[in-house]
Amino acid sequence: MPVITIEGQPLHYQIRGTGFPVLLGHSYLWDSSMWAPQIDALSASFQTIAPDLWGHGRSGQMPADTRTLGDLAGHVIKLLDALDIKRCAVVGLSVGGMWGAELALLQPDRVRALVMMDTDLGAEPDTTRARYFQMLDTIETLGKIPPPMIDAIVPLFFRPEAALDGDVPVSFRDALARFSPAQLRQSIVPLGRLIFSRPDAVSRLASLDSVRTLLMCGALDFTRTPAETIRMAEVIGCQHVLVPDAGHISNLENVEFVTNNLLQWLKQRTDENR
Mean pLDDT within 66-88: 98
So what's the pLDDT on residue 271?
80
Q: What is the pLDDT of residues 146-155, one digit of tens each?
A: 999 999 999 9
pLDDT at 272 over 70: no
Q: What is the pLDDT of residues 259-270, one digit of tens each?
A: 999 999 999 998
Q: What is the pLDDT of residues 210-228, one digit of tens each?
A: 999 999 999 999 999 999 9
Cβ(118)–Cβ(249) below 8 Å: yes
Domain ranges of the chain: 20-81+94-123+200-214
Mean pLDDT within 137-163: 98
The percent helix, strand, coil of the chain (3-state, each to 5) is 50, 15, 35
Q: What is the pLDDT of residues 27-58, one digit of tens each?
A: 999 999 999 999 999 999 999 999 999 999 99
Pick the CATH number of 20-81+94-123+200-214 from 3.30.70.2740, 3.40.50.1820, 3.40.630.30, 2.40.110.10: 3.40.50.1820
Q: What is the pLDDT of residues 9-30, one digit of tens each?
A: 999 999 999 999 999 999 999 9
Under 8 Å CB-to-CB from 248, ≥6 apart: which residues?
27, 94, 118, 156, 157, 158, 218, 221, 222, 223, 224
Total residue count of the chain as it appears in this document = 274
